[in-house]
Structure 1
């Protein structure tokens, strides 16, 4: 029996106070008990913060800039989304178990929900953070096209949910701050989307140093080219067009939409901007984290 439609557009379910897809919540014990390996590299982000971009960069680094090797499969198979479980359709945990080391592992989990084996094994982790207003806009369009999410409602309604953390993977504020604090005690490289946009070469050099890899300049330039937005947008192994339409509808909004900084200016009204900024100050008070809303 074709039961695909009924897995979509369902309400989120709280796991330890964090709203997640119903199917992740139902299979939470599988996620919680996930066994990492010491040479795993975890790529952690809040959704719509450059996850696919940094995943492609790191896969290129792991393959010494060989773009053809990186076309061996779609990005979501090369870098499995660990906690994503949809009964009968997908299971990130099982996919990872079958993978040879060294594995690249993707997660959107806030720091407190990460399986404890990652801390125990002292795995290296790369976290990418993006400014909240651009994330909110990108997430709104993503909610529209990726049907595992509940209906987004209007932009105004969605923005309210985003500000109160009532979206998949919870509060952006808690997420970026939680990982920021954790970097003091573990091997976490904390990168910013805006820095990557501004100077991809500098940020790739940081990644190489963190990963103890040495690549010649011409290879680094190749990585910059192949991981650029325009090239990735045309690459079916990176742009998610291979995902079935019943799951992601690119005619509603492409998975890779604009990939710029400052697009929030095209969406926020003056009133929304003012309300958002006031709320932002309260929620980020006391944190040393600094974001740029444009570059």
Structure 2
């Protein structure tokens, strides 16, 4: 039985909009223990496609790619709803929605694309039992940290990050929502040897989006024409998505995400962490990285 502690004191909250449930030492943005029980018992279907990520690792980007693939490159179909309303998060409840995304998922027809930020050991057992295909995207931790910090600044449902120095310390110690980046990426890296997991890297997708999209197509056992493939790559590029209201989160009320503080789609370029890290932070980070990743075959590029 997972150990659950509600409102863990290590994560600060913005008033009324945020609730922390600590499960096996992992701080999660889950509304209640009752909702967590429903998550654990979530009835997966064999044709469910799961998109798993640590926050700010390309979740939104990969959702758009997968949505375009599932809709054979039909741009208008992929603009049917704003991004956040097209595919549910397994564990989240957003302030502007009447019910948790899990309940929305239960009402959806198949095939479903379901997103999650849960570490591998906390996903519902039914996902493994039904042998669902899982696409996991990992991003280098330096860019992930900076992007997560700015997201905390603009998203009302996340704790106030105070400043980058304080957020840096919390990120490095795993005291942020979804816990340790190190544990998350390593856990899913190990899971790929036991389950149907396609493990992708943000930096690889950025460097060669067509090649990585072809990997996804092969994993999903889906054939499309070269023309549609090129269309998918174009319409899921950062610059095009940033101008698409159905993909850039600008349709949300500013009370939920305030783009005047920081745009949701900020830069998306590997290596941007250099504009925020101090020399001392970078040196300290590299030491901690070597310690935490010792013995792992995982490697990350911090720029391309």
Q: Do they superpose with TM above 0.5?
A: yes
Distance 2:86 2:36 in 1: 23
Does the 8 Å contact 2:46/2:132 carry over to 1? Answer: yes
CA shift, 1:26, in A, is 5.5
- The residue that corresponds to 1:41 in the other structure is 49
Which of the residues 81, 91, 116 maps onto 1:83?
A: 91
Could you tell me how far apart the structure 2 residues matched to 1:21 and 1:205 are?
A: 33
Which residue of the partner structure matches residue 28 of structure 1? 36
The offset of 1:151, in angstroms, is 0.9
Equivalent in the alignment of 2:118: 109
Aligned equivalent of 1:172: 181
- Residues 15 and 25 in structure 1, CA contact (< 8 A), matched pair in contact too: no
- In terms of mean alpha carbon deviation, does 257-266 or 87-96 score higher? 87-96
Displacement of 1:24 in angstroms is 5.0
CA 1:26/1:248 → structure 2, altered by over 3 Å: closer, same or farther? Answer: farther
Change (3 A) 1:160 1:186: same
Structure 1 segments of 4+ aligned residues over 6 angstroms from their partners:
none
Deviation at 1:11, TM superposition (A): 6.3
Unaligned runs of 5+ in 2: 1-13
How many residues are paired up? 290
Q: How does 1:150-165 map to 2 (within 5 A)?
A: 150-165=159-174
Distance 1:138 1:239 in 2: 15
What is the distance in 2 between the residues matched to 1:22 and 1:7?
Answer: 13
Is 2:35 the counterpart of 1:54? no
Mapped to 1, the partners of 2:140 and 2:177 lie a distance apart of 17
Alignment deviations for residues 99-144 of structure 1 (CA, whole Å, 9 cap, x no partner): 1100000000001110111001000000000000000000000000
Unaligned ranges ≥5, structure 1: none
Match of 1:262 in 2: 271
Q: Which residue does the alignment assign to 1:13? A: 21
Which residue of the partner structure matches residue 238 of structure 1? 247
